[in-house]
Structure formats: structure tokens, C-alpha cells
Structure 1
């Protein structure tokens, strides 16, 4: 007998294996997980990292640290290998290194930031290589060497019944609360830069291709984005409070090996 949630996730005409793949894809959404409650909370009374008023800098951590202060791991599929993160010295500064070998897990930093007051997002990243037809546009190729993930609060009652059902299922099967909206800046292998696409399972997760293709691999790339403008372009509305910032290097769909480095992430008024 097929569980009711597999029927709900799959189209009516799909066979059971396809419905199961649909559930796996849903539970494999890093964007959903990186926004919710931590899988192993710590650092504050009661074991929960208290939301900060800024994103904790990687540069303040000692080289060799597996988990920078203020950040926590997020593992949403315990049947998959995890991405390995560590702080390393690079060009006379400390940065976060990510190594993913057919892996999918991220880090998140809980925050409480008003994006209307601090709309300027600054981040930098570098990746060693990008091989093959990878793109967040399809479930089969949904890998990326580097992602910056922003999760926003909002009124869940405004969402459609389908989106609320998805949120309930994610919380039921992962134990993590799905945010109102998630905007993910990705390094994509196929999408043109500045493209915005919906996640293949939830319209409340949207990708913006900050970088495209392999021609700038090997170089540190620096970005400054207007989060409010990007959110409005992606979702057609004004963002609510920013509740989480995450990083994700994943290669579980295509089983490749990715190495990426992340510099500090910050939000500022100007």
C-alpha cells in the first residue's frame, strides 16, 4: 500500500517509484532544510544557537576549525554522504572550504536581520572546477559547487494549500520547519547569469544564478547584491525578516567531486 504522502507528492498518473523519487527530491531540498531549525543545535542555553544580528564571519575562526562559531551543520538526508566543511588559510585570510564527493549537506547561521534596513548582501566564493551538465533547473542535475541561501519569515497562512501541505510534510519527515520563502544564489552550470527559476517541488524556493558556467573557475569572485530587489524580482513581493543564512556545496545528484571556498558573508545598509 502506498503511503498517502507519496500519493500527495506524485502526480495522479505516476507509478509508485516515481512518487518515491518525488518524496526523495522533496526531502533532498537543501534550501528547505537550511532555513529551518538546526539538526544539532548548540551554543546557547537550552542547546539552540541564538539568532544573531549579523552573519558570523569565517575569517574570525581559527584555521582547522570544522565548524565556525555561530554556524551549525544541517543534514537533511542521513542516507547520503555529508559535505565536509573546514576553515582554512587562503590568500592571507581565513575562509570556509567545502568538499563534496557525491554529498549533500550544508551549514547555516541563524540571524534576525531586517533586509529593508540592511539590503546590501556581500559575499565571495571560488570553485576549483565545474564539469558536465549541472543545473538547479532540473531535479536530475540539481547540483552546484557553491550556493548562498537566504531564508525569510512570513505569514504561512498566505501560502496555497499545496505549499502548506509541502511545508507540513517537510517538517513531518525531517523535523525541520520550512521557512516562508527561500532565495538561493547559485553558481550554475547552464542557466544564464541573473536567471531566476523556481524549485521543481516548491515555488517558495527560488534560485538566482549569480554565476554561470566554468569560465571563471579558479578565481575569487566578489558580489554585492540588493537583497530586497532580488527578492521582489524572484517572488513579486517585499521580503520579511531574514532568519537564516546558509552555504551549500552539493554533488549528490551527479556524483561529482566539488571543492569550493567561501569568504565572509555580510549584510549592510549601504
Structure 2
């Protein structure tokens, strides 16, 4: 990014103040490209049931995205994170890379967390800035995030939350989900730490991995999303309407690189 400062119009300044730090994937989906080209003979095509999270391994490992995943851009004044499918460690995964970037990917779903409460994914980070933490708005880069959007009764929103939702829709054209739960890899905060977003109580962070001790290896993560939602929000969840990934580096401007494996919901834990 250029270091030259440019005047910001009042309306744009208000939009930036409102949207700064809000999760890109909480603002709704955008139409995006689908995977193109044949799958490799060594890897059979992986498909998803209707309403489920589309696996990254269903795409050819040629940089294309699986049909169902769409780019998501909230801050159009920032460069986009680059997302591509690739062949890594014997499987097709999603590769995210950027420096000073902020954008994500989103998949629209329809999932009942009562029937399939167990959320599983894999992620890998090789390097991360130890300063990065969601606990400080000016340092809130994360090498990996899994973002889950929930349906709910919008009439139950507080006046403050309703105002934030209306302003976000006004400035972006997209609607926030009733609630958003973000599983993050944080540079400082301990695992299981929960943090509420500064501007709305309907967006909450839960630290799923912390620090640098687990770098340069694939980590398999499993969470009971229903139990997590009840603990974080203090209520039962509605249906899950979207799942997203986000790798951002717009605050610290450090080079950031991560990989994501398939994401899915299941009726029981893996070791059951």
C-alpha cells in the first residue's frame, strides 16, 4: 500500500469507522466463481450434500474455487487476500496469502446445529506476527478464522445492535446475520478466550488456537458449535446460514500465509 495520505470524504470516513474490525464474512455473500476444469485422476471428486459446506477438495488443485464459495470484500480500499486451491501434503486445500490485505471467502449453507453440532476443520500456519491479537483493534490481524453465521429473530436485537445492522446495510448493501461466531488463531490470547466485538454484541470471537508453538503443521480442530454458541451468546442458536474463512493482515502489514482443509458439520465427535 502507498504511504501517501489522501483526504477522506466524511461519508467514507463514517463508513470506515463503522466497518473497521467487523468480520468481512458477517456482511453477506457476493456472487463468485466456481471451480473450473476437470478434477485430477488421483483424487476422486468430493461433493457436498445440499445445504452443507462445500469441501475445498471438490475443486481441481489449480487455483480455482469450489462452486459455492464466493469472494467476500468488505473494505474495498484495501488489497484482497489471495485465495487459491492447491495440492499440499497429499490433498487439495485452500491456500491464503497476503500482505496488508483484508478479504475472505464465504459459503452459504443451511445447517441445523441441533442435528449436526460438531464442526471440524483443518488449518495450517507457517509464520505469524506474535503481536497480532483480537484484543486490540489496531492489532487484530489473524492468520486464520472460521466464521459461522446464524439465523435468528431480528426483532430481538437491541436498539444499538439494530442501529449498527441498519448502518452496515446502508453503507455496504449487505445484511448482517443475526449472530456471528468467529473461531480465530490469536497471537496472544489463550485458547477458549471469548471476546465481544466493540460495536455489536451479535459478533463474538472464540480463540481456537493461540501463539506460535503449533506453527508449520496441520492442526485438526473440532468444536461443538452449539455448545460454543450457548456459552458465548447465552442462548440457543438458530440455523447456521453461512460459513467463511478469513486471513487478514491489514493492521500490522506482516506477510501472512495459511492453508485451510475441508470444513464440515457432523452429528457426533470424531472419536465417538
TM-score range, shorter chain: 0.7 to 0.9
**CA distance in 2 between partners of 1:66 and 1:169 (Å):** 34
Residue 26 (1) aligns with residue 18 (2): yes
CA separation of 1:83/1:52 partners in 2, compared to 1, >3 Å: closer, same or farther?
A: farther
**CA distance in 2 between partners of 1:29 and 1:131 (Å):** 18
| Alignment-derived partner of residue 142 in structure 1 | 140
**CA distance in 2 between partners of 1:101 and 1:178 (Å):** 27
Structure 2 matches for 1:190-209, cutoff 5 A? 190-209=188-207
3-state SS of the aligned residue for 2:206? strand
User: What's the TM-score once normalised by structure 1's chain length?
Assistant: 0.86
Determine if contact 2:130/2:212 at 8 Å carries over to the other structure: no
Unpaired stretches in structure 1, ≥5 consecutive residues:
1-15, 44-50
3-state SS of the aligned residue for 2:180? strand
Residue 104 (1) aligns with residue 96 (2): no
Aligned length: 247
**Which of residues 247, 251, 255 in structure 2 aligns to 1:249?**
247
Structure 2 matches for 1:1-270, cutoff 5 A? 23-31=15-23, 33-40=24-31, 52-270=50-268
Runs in 1 of length 4+ with deviation above 6 angstroms?
A: 19-22
**CA distance in 1 between partners of 2:192 and 2:103 (Å):** 25
Unpaired stretches in structure 2, ≥5 consecutive residues:
1-7, 35-48
3-state SS of the aligned residue for 1:228? helix
> When you count helix as a share of all residues, which structure comes out higher?
1
CA separation of 1:218/1:41 partners in 2, compared to 1, >3 Å: closer, same or farther?
A: closer
User: What's the TM-score once normalised by structure 2's chain length?
Assistant: 0.85
